[in-house]
Structure formats: C-alpha cells, structure tokens
C-alpha cells in the first residue's frame, strides 16, 4: 500500500477530485481512502509513486509520498 500526504483538501469535493485523479493513474488497483482530516490518501496497486504525486498536484493540491 502507498500512502500519500495531501495538503489543501478542505471539503468532500476536494476528496472526490483527489480520489478520481489517483484512480486514473496506471497501476492503481484501488483507492482505499482519501481523508482531508488525516491529510492522506491510501492506494493499493503498483503505480509509479511519482505519477500519483503528479496526478494530485495537477488537481491543485500538494502531495508527497509518506515515508
């Protein structure tokens, strides 16, 4: 499982936008959770982590892989 730190989500629409963007990345099997309260997204599958970050940033949010 890959955990992304996501900043800038303020509402349910933000969570939905991030979830939809992540789901389009090749290799994503499932978006387990997107939580504005926790500031994270959990992803299953074998996507390129850099592509996940890029997809979230393209939606206007800050993201990085949680270490």
Q: What is the pLDDT of residues 10-66, one digit of tens each?
A: 999 999 999 999 999 999 999 999 999 999 999 999 999 999 999 999 999 999 999
Nearest to 51 by CA among 20, 16, 26, 33: 26
Q: How many helices (H) and strands (E) does the chain have?
A: 2, 4
| Cβ neighbour number for residue 67 with a 10 Å cutoff | 5
Cα separation, 51 vs 9, whole angstroms: 19
Please identify which residue in the block is written with the tokens 């099997």.
Answer: 29
For the question of whether the overall pTM of this predicted structure is more than 0.85, the answer is yes
Q: Which domains does the chain have, with CATH numbers?
A: 2-65 (3.30.70.100)
């Amino acid at each position: 499982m890959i955990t992304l730190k996501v900043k800038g989500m303020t509402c349910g629409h933000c969570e939905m936008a991030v979830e939809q963007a992540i789901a389009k990345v090749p290799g994503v099997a499932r978006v387990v959770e997107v939580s504005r309260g926790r500031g994270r997204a959990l992803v299953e599958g074998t996507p390129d982590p850099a592509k996940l970050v890029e997809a979230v940033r393209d939606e206007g949010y800050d993201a990085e892989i949680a270490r």
